[in-house]
């Protein structure tokens, strides 16, 4: 399973999680999972010294690894139960998928950039985590394994993709940043019945654009 032998990184990770815990609005269960995962493993060597700053950092293909606070915030909104089937749109570095898996979720993650998927698969293998991955258009979801108890979108959408709402289980939750390419609000959408959805809007964030058929057409 996951392990890190670098004591300096381990201490920095502990201090970051402590600072997030003091904010008081995040799930202890989520933060406990993040305490286990070595975020430096998801970064190029030139950025690893910044792994435990509470900030988004660049990864390959002009993408980013999300700010730790943002990861904790979005994951907490999903309110994951052991065994929940969770769809992640935007694998990126693979960090978020690892957090979801440590919380007991069965994770399905989609990424449109093949190089990122390959790198993420290698990290999952190194950590001994079983995470289902696919290269494809995340805006149309992954219908083969629907419905999902939770869907998390780690890129900014101009609107909520209909396909993702359709693939949400009754009682399930969809967490997605929606807005312009420069600023978004976090939406939490709960499926109350076959046709009824309840939407709440929380804080403002900034993500890379969600590219695809039901997202932005270009970066």
Residue 109: give its domain's CATH number. 3.40.50.150
Q: Is residue 200 part of a domain?
A: yes
Query: ω into residue 147 within 30 of 0, thus cis?
Result: yes
Task: Give me the mean pLDDT over the 85-113 stretch.
Answer: 98
Overall average pLDDT of the 49-71 stretch? 95
- Provide mean pLDDT across the span 81-102: 98
pLDDT of residue 12: 95
Q: What is the pLDDT of residues 158-190, one digit of tens each?
A: 999 999 999 999 999 999 999 999 999 999 999
Structure token digits, residue 71? 């990861």
Return the active site residues. 66
215 in a structural domain: no
The confidence score (pLDDT) of residue 4 equals 64
Q: For residue 192, is pLDDT > 60?
A: yes
Structural domain includes residue 126: yes
| pLDDT score of 5 | 65
Residue 113 lies in a domain: yes
The structural domain count of the chain equals: 1
On whether residue 171 sits in a domain, the answer given is yes
198-219 per-position pLDDT tens digit: 999 999 999 999 999 999 997 5
Calculate the alpha carbon distances from 3 to 129, 137, 143 in Å.
12, 32, 34
Give whole-number Cα distances, 108 to 100, 111, 134, in Å.
Answer: 10, 10, 8
Q: Residue 219 has what pLDDT?
A: 57
Residue 97 lies in a domain: yes
Paired tokens of 19: 């600072």
pLDDT tens column, 10-56 = 999 999 999 999 998 999 999 999 999 999 999 999 999 999 999 99
Reply yes or no on whether the pLDDT at 7 is more than 90: no
Range of the domain at 152: 56-205
Q: What's the pTM value of the predicted model, to 2 decimals? A: 0.95
Q: Is 71 domain-assigned? A: yes
**pLDDT, position 1:** 60
pLDDT of the residue at 8: 85
Using alpha carbons, list the distances in angstroms from residue 164 to 41, 101, 109, 157, 160.
Answer: 30, 20, 13, 12, 8
pLDDT in tens, 115-155: 999 999 999 999 999 999 999 999 999 999 999 999 999 99
* DSSP H or E segment with residue 4: none
Separation of CA 75 from chain center: 7
In three-state secondary structure terms, 164 is helix
Residue 145 φ/ψ, nearest 5 degrees: -110, 10
| pLDDT score for 3 | 57
What local confidence, expressed as pLDDT, does residue 191 receive? 98
């Amino acid at each position: 399973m996951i392990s890190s032998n670098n004591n300096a990184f381990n201490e920095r990770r502990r201090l970051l999680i402590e600072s997030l815990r003091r904010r008081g609005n995040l799930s202890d269960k989520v933060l406990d999972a993040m305490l286990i995962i070595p975020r430096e493993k998801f970064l190029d060597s030139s950025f690893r010294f910044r792994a435990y700053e509470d900030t988004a950092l660049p990864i390959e293909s002009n993408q980013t690894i999300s700010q730790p606070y943002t990861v904790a915030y979005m994951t907490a909104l999903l309110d994951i139960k052991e065994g929940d089937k969770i769809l992640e749109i935007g694998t990126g570095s693979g960090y978020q998928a690892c957090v979801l898996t440590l919380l007991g979720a069965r994770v399905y993650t989609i990424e449109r950039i093949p190089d990122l998927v390959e790198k993420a698969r290698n990290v999952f293998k190194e950590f001994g985590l079983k995470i289902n991955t696919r290269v494809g258009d995340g805006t149309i979801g992954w219908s083969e394994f629907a419905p999902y108890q939770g869907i998390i979108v780690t890129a900014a959408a101009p609107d909520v993709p209909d396909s993702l709402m359709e693939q949400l289980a009754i009682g399930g939750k969809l967490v997605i940043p929606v807005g312009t390419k420069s600023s978004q609000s976090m939406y939490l959408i709960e499926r109350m019945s076959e046709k009824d959805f309840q939407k709440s809007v929380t804080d403002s964030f900034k993500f890379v654009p969600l590219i695809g058929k039901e997202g932005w057409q270009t970066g």
